Homo-oligomer: A and B are copies of this chain.
Amino acid sequence: MRNSNRQWILKKRPVGDIKPGDLELVESPIPVPGPGEILVRTVYLSLDPTNRIWMSDMEQYMPPVELGEVMRGGTLSVVEQSNNPDFKPGDVVNTFTGWQEYAAVPMAQKMPPGVPLPAYMSVLGATGATAYFGLLDLGKPQPGETVVVSAAAGAVGSIVGQIAKLKGCRVVGIAGSDEKCRHLVKDFGFDACINYKTEKDMRAALKRECPNGIDIDFENAGGAILDAVMDNLAMKARIVLCGMISQYNATGQMAGTNITNILMKRARIEGFIIIDYLPRFGEFIAEMAPWVMQGKIKYDTTIVKGIESALPSLDMLFTGKNTGKLLIQVSDEPK
């Protein structure tokens, strides 16, 4: 084992797109676990649109990452050394140790074997839970309703659409390429999918695919796509505001949204953050794990190797180069 822990440090708050020097890859010594602590080696690092929010000092749902700190991120790790009798080397644990190769922590949640590790970082992790609670708890889909999902080929969106199908809804995805659209319809059972990059008139396209209006919009995009959704709401529509990825790299004022139809259609927009649902993760796993085992819910992962790839890969989320969950494989899975 090299005595080197590569870490991505936030040096400057990015303005607009992230620029060279905003984050820096540095080498530190591997930490030595103190009494009762465990040393964990990062296997997978989750890249998420919200990473961009954490780099900024905009008003947000958690404190931003401080300058000089290791960049924050969800991780799946393996125990390398343990001073804690509850853990032994080789245990796979759910961690939140950020963009680095090693960390010493007092404890972590052990993950049971029998599941491909990337599933813990996607469909059976925070990503799947975001789709599950956002759609079911806020959206409350009823059979026969029409559900629109933006960033539909993304990690969350692709699962939202499949759950909505299991609940008997018509599901219309919005994604950024014909290939993604074909995949969502053919492999994931979406009823239709609109390529927002080639579609000239999103309002008309949504009207065509949602002739009875949109009952639920699971919103990951914001901006112009949300405006087109707003013009096609059904009465009593619910907009589940999960993210607004189109806006995170904005400089200056973010685009405003015309909320007139929230009034006219007696509709609702509600924001949520998955950390509020941590106490209810058991419910989610109990329903989602069988769906995944039975093949009723499928999931994609895009895996890029090496901690050095973390920053260069983040932009894939904003340009739509990933399909499904984007992970950095920082080190090998345990044998």
Contacts and interface: CB of A to CB of B under 8 A. Distances in A.
Interface of A: 58-61, 222, 231, 241-244, 247, 253-273, 276
A272 B267 CA distance: 7
Nearest to A226: B259
6 contacts: A58-B260, A59-B231, A243-B263, A259-B269, A262-B271, A269-B270
Given A61-B265, A266-B276, A268-B270, 4 more contacts: A61-B266, A256-B256, A257-B257, A266-B273
A276 B236 CA distance: 11
Nearest to A265: B271
A38 to B, nearest CB: 32
Most chain B CB within 10 A, of A58, A264, A265, A272, is at: A264
A269 B262 contact: yes
B253 A258 contact: yes
A244 B262 CA distance: 11
B266 A269 contact: no
A54 to B, nearest CB: 12
B254 A260 contact: yes
A7 B6 CA distance: 80
Nearest to A275: B266
Contacts of A60: 264
A267 B270 contact: yes
Nearest to A50: B263
Nearest to A253: B258
Contacts of A59: 231, 260-261, 264
B276 A263 contact: no
- Lowest 8 CB-CB distances: which A-B pairs, in order? A256-B256, A263-B271, A262-B271, A268-B270, A269-B269, A61-B264, A257-B259, A241-B263
A269 B268 CA distance: 6
Contacts of A266: 61, 270-273, 276
Nearest to A61: B264
Nearest to A268: B270
B261 A259 contact: no
Contacts of A58: 260, 264
Q: Most chain-B CB neighbours within 10 Å: which of A59, A256, A259, A270? A: A259
Contacts of A269: 259, 262, 268-270
Nearest to A237: B271
A244 B263 contact: yes
Contacts of A231: 59
A299 B259 CA distance: 30
A270 B255 CA distance: 20
Nearest to A60: B264
